[in-house]
A and B are shown apart, each in its own frame.
Chain A
Amino acid sequence: MTDFIRNIRPLPSGEIKFSLPEIQKFSLVNGLQVLFIEKKNLPIIQINLIFNAGSKFDPEGKRGLANLLSMCIDEGAGKYDSLQLSDEFDMLGTHFNVNTTEDNIYFMLQTLTENFHRSVELLADVLTSPHFSQNEFEREKRKIIIRILQLKDEPEEIADMVFDNLVFGKENPYAFPIIGYEKDLNEISVDDVKNYYKELIIPNNGALIIVGDTTKFEIENELNSLLNNWKQSKVKNTKHVSNLSEKIKLFIVDKKDAVQSEIRIGHISSGRDESDYYSKTILNMILGGQFTSRINLNLRERKGYTYGANSRFGYFKDSAYFYVSTSVNLENTANAVKEIFNELNGIRNGITNEELEFAKSSLIRKFPSTFETNKQIATNLTGIYIHSLQDDYFNSYLDKIKAVTLDEVNNTAFKSIHPSKAVVVIVGDKYKLKSQLEDAIGTEMVEVDFMGNKITS
């Protein structure tokens, strides 16, 4: 048995059989769209209820409203006060939480099948009869304001917030942090939260995603009666466009005595709905999307500047960005920035066929593993809803990846990566970094605070 040659990589044994689960699409009587996948291997049900109600809808001067709503909505509902409601979920062993992103508010629930009925009853209470009492509202607000203070300690969070702010520009609602600003929060009243809820948490402004051990019949049966008094209303919209910067810009948020520097380098990018999505996905795999990408191998495995470096195209509903993100030791901050620019310039000269085939192989073969857990499948369906993707998105995904050519990726690299118009954000010690960074980038460093506002000394 031991008589074999170890230096030959074993080949795969045949091809695997993977069939996509079937998506059932229907609507409840109140108009709420449902995307459902039945999965019976375990007695578990995952629910993602999504609304187009994220922080981008926060009015000017009231930044932080959507997040505050999501913090308050489960602080008492129906016949339960805040503590009772939480207790009801906990007694079932059901996981329930409400989150805010730039685009959406999510109600996420994971329950055992035997507790499905009781869990959705509670969910319906939260959804249709939240109390929004003054006391609970004030407490949650105070908690958020102190959380904002704590963010000053967290370099990764600061880097991301400041990058969004400076790349999207003040006019774009993706520019401000989901958590909001302290001065804005002080202006928000409980009536603002109630109005926001009435305007945006409505059945024709979202989708219900369910994956797991139930049936279409059961879903309709439970939810049509629980949600029959919850009514449609006019849907709000918002859209803003940001432009690329004219030239390289360098910003720093000062963290005195920081031993590491957080780095973000990037710019706005074309949206999720553009036809170049697949070539951008492949491009990013090669550039910085995984461990053996050009950027990580260079900065980590060759230079040893960092524990890890990566790049991504991030897609909001109406805007998108590209960025490289890493944390490096103080001494090598400028060296790391230079190497990142080398990689961004380098990829514009094209990729190799070997890189293309590697990226395609990885994406294609990884596909089945993204349908393992109920939560993963629900996340996939959520993506379809948020970005208004076609019904056959998953059925055509593999063919679309396979069809991408070397020329397309090279074209995309040239069109989508703009080192000469990048915004560079550093969170680190400004005195120790100023001259090394200005020399490396050839532009003056501008100091901003942790919310991205210019500091004039």
Chain B
Amino acid sequence: MPNKKMSMNLLKINYEKYNLQNGLEVILYKDNSIPLVASNIWYKVGSANEKRGKTGIAHLFEHMMFQGSQNIDKEMHFRHIQEAGGTLNGSTSFDRTNYFEKVPSNFLELILWLESDRMGFWLPALTQEKLNNQKDVVRNERLERYDNQPYGLAFEILLSSLFPASHPYSWPTIGSLDDISSFTIEDVTDFFKKYYSPANACLVIAGDFETNRTKELVEKYFGEIKNNKFIDNLTINGETFLKENKFVLHKDNVQLDRIYLAWHSDKAYSMYDSTLDILSDILSGSKNSRLYKNLVFEKEIAQDITAYQFSGKYAGFFMIAATAKPGTRLDTLKAEILTEIENIKNNGVTEKELLKSKNGIKSNFIFSLQNIDSLADQLNAYNFYLGEPNSFEKDLERYENVSNNEIIKSVESFLTMPYVELHIVPKDKG
């Protein structure tokens, strides 16, 4: 079992955090063990900041950020970093958009130049041709990764069933095909002007660098970018939670039936978030986990089963999905799942189950320290959700402190409430 003291020392991440005059937050974390440096920027904007009818713009915009800026031609953002032997990408979630690079440490200035140019000087390079091209690319992305995948629409259906139409988590980050097609130059221009301000971003630099020189470079490249003073005070109006169970049937090009059950749960880093993570592991994370062992290993009525706590800034949900073996009815799987939840509510879990999950989580924390780029992203995540980049120990403690009592309370608080039940079945059936 991982020794507590050892892991705690490893998880003390010494960093320095400061702000530029224009509001850009900067976090520096030094690790000279390999001559690499990672840059990771979080913009505090994601699909939750969108409106219905304009879904997918945060993600489309992420694509547009790779289309060049005033001093970088189209394609050259990628090319400069690749020529330096670096890797790069970006991603969009409900809550944030991130952009990240990892390069040999002598190329730090190159990535600061590229990131600052698109933060401050992106607009002059925008053209209708680039927008049209990336709308096509994103439509293809949606078709390839969602519409053409078996069960690929499940997430979208669950979100729209679980959340009221006004809730910003009720649509997926990729957006709808119609919305993606509708975006104009004005839409993306407005989006940039609102959200891509230095005061709405946090830059993490992690790896092999020299601190004073790096601070000078950050000031040189980002210091002159104007703060637009825009603040998006996103508020969730009205009742989020379901009042009664909801059933949805969806026919798809699939061979096997699959059932999804989804409940509202806790937000990221709130009271029961880590408890529900552990519960998901106890239900389906290993061969001995309750539902896997019962349904997949012993009764062989499911081909696979997964339980998952999703949590964001504005909401969370707990999901269980199981694929039925041929000949098994989804109602049978549902009854088994609900019986197990009832059982945990009444009897809790064992100390051994708790310890096993906690040991796995601790090991994963330490395994995750190997990548300087994932470490940089984690510093940004902690800073965004908790206001403190070095929250590795605190985060691990959230899991250490989960007791049987809390498992039971989390089940009572969330998994006994109304839920969405989605069945995805073959087109020629059901």
Q: Which residues on A are within 8 Å of B, measured CB to CB?
A: 1-2, 4, 6-7, 9-18, 41-44, 82-83, 86-87, 90-95, 110-112, 114-115, 139, 142-143, 146-147, 149-150, 152-155, 255-260, 290-292, 297, 300-307, 327-329, 358, 361-369, 371-375
B425 beta carbon closer than 8 Å to chain A: no
Chain A residue numbers with a CB within 8 Å of B6 are 43, 114
Chain B residue numbers with a CB within 8 Å of A147 are 303
Question: Is B145 a contact partner of A307 (Cβ separation < 8 A)?
Answer: yes
Q: What is the CA–CA distance of A139 and B107 in the complex, to the nearest angstrom? A: 53
Known: A17-B35, A86-B286, A90-B288. A42 touches B366 (CB 8 A): yes
7 A-B pairs, CB-CB below 8 angstroms?
Answer: A13-B109, A18-B35, A44-B366, A91-B355, A256-B253, A365-B107, A368-B34
Question: Is B141 a contact partner of A307 (Cβ separation < 8 A)?
Answer: yes
Chain A residue numbers with a CB within 8 Å of B413 are none
| Pick from A111, A307, A366, A373: contact of B140, CB under 8 Å | A307
Known: A155-B148, A304-B136. A1 touches B104 (CB 8 A): no
Q: What is the CA–CA distance of A16 and B117 in the complex, to the nearest angstrom? A: 25
| Pick from B36, B83, B144: contact of A327, CB under 8 Å | B144
- Scoring B residues 359 to 394 as 1 if CB is less than 8 Å from chain A, else 0, what string do you get? 111111011011110000000000000000000000
| Pick from B71, B147, B300, B366: contact of A142, CB under 8 Å | B300
Chain B residue numbers with a CB within 8 Å of A327 are 140, 144, 148
CB distance from A370 to the nearest CB of B (A): 10
Given contacts A16-B104, A301-B137, A372-B372, 13 further A-B pairs with CB under 8 A are A1-B223, A6-B117, A10-B113, A14-B106, A17-B35, A18-B34, A42-B370, A83-B288, A87-B356, A93-B361, A291-B78, A292-B79, A307-B144
Question: Is A153 a contact partner of B150 (Cβ separation < 8 A)?
Answer: yes
Question: Is B288 a contact partner of A87 (Cβ separation < 8 A)?
Answer: yes
Chain A residue numbers with a CB within 8 Å of B110 are 9-10, 12
CB distance from A89 to the nearest CB of B (A): 9
CB distance from B40 to the nearest CB of A (A): 15
A260 to B, closest residue via Cβ? B148
B82 beta carbon closer than 8 Å to chain A: yes
B373 to A, closest residue via Cβ? A372
B84-92, B193-201, B264-272, B330-338 - interface stretch: B84-92
CB distance from A331 to the nearest CB of B (A): 11
Question: Is B82 a contact partner of A292 (Cβ separation < 8 A)?
Answer: yes
Chain B interface size, under 10 / 10 to 19 / 20 to 34 / 35 or more: 35 or more
Question: Is A150 a contact partner of B113 (Cβ separation < 8 A)?
Answer: no
A367 to B, closest residue via Cβ? B85
Q: What is the CA–CA distance of A386 and B326 in the complex, to the nearest angstrom? A: 39
Question: Is B140 a contact partner of A292 (Cβ separation < 8 A)?
Answer: no
B53 beta carbon closer than 8 Å to chain A: no
Q: What is the CA–CA distance of A152 and B34 in the complex, to the nearest angstrom? A: 44
Q: What is the CA–CA distance of A304 and B138 in the complex, to the nearest angstrom? A: 9
Q: What is the CA–CA distance of A32 and B255 in the complex, to the nearest angstrom? A: 44
Known: A142-B300, A304-B133. A112 touches B366 (CB 8 A): yes
Question: Is B36 a contact partner of A94 (Cβ separation < 8 A)?
Answer: no
| Pick from A2, A90, A369: contact of B104, CB under 8 Å | A369
Q: What is the CA–CA distance of A90 and B288 in the complex, to the nearest angstrom? A: 9
| Pick from B117, B140, B147, B356: contact of A305, CB under 8 Å | B140
Question: Is A368 a contact partner of B35 (Cβ separation < 8 A)?
Answer: yes
CB distance from B418 to the nearest CB of A (A): 31
Question: Is B370 a contact partner of A44 (Cβ separation < 8 A)?
Answer: yes
Chain A residue numbers with a CB within 8 Å of B74 are 301
B287 to A, closest residue via Cβ? A86
CB distance from B10 to the nearest CB of A (A): 7
Question: Is B255 a contact partner of A328 (Cβ separation < 8 A)?
Answer: no
Question: Is B362 a contact partner of A260 (Cβ separation < 8 A)?
Answer: no
Question: Is B288 a contact partner of A92 (Cβ separation < 8 A)?
Answer: no
Question: Is A42 a contact partner of B255 (Cβ separation < 8 A)?
Answer: no
CB distance from B138 to the nearest CB of A (A): 8
Question: Is A369 a contact partner of B363 (Cβ separation < 8 A)?
Answer: no
Interface residues of B in 57-87 (CB under 8 A from A): 70-71, 74-75, 78-80, 82-87
Question: Is A149 a contact partner of B106 (Cβ separation < 8 A)?
Answer: no
Chain A residue numbers with a CB within 8 Å of B409 are none
B127 beta carbon closer than 8 Å to chain A: no
Question: Is A259 a contact partner of B367 (Cβ separation < 8 A)?
Answer: no
Chain A residue numbers with a CB within 8 Å of B137 are 300-301, 304, 306-307
Q: What is the CA–CA distance of A6 and B109 in the complex, to the nearest angstrom? A: 12
CB distance from A253 to the nearest CB of B (A): 13
B403 beta carbon closer than 8 Å to chain A: no
B291 beta carbon closer than 8 Å to chain A: no
B208 to A, closest residue via Cβ? A16
- Scoring B residues 127 to 163 as 1 if CB is less than 8 Å from chain A, else 0, what string do you get? 0000011111111110111011110000000000000
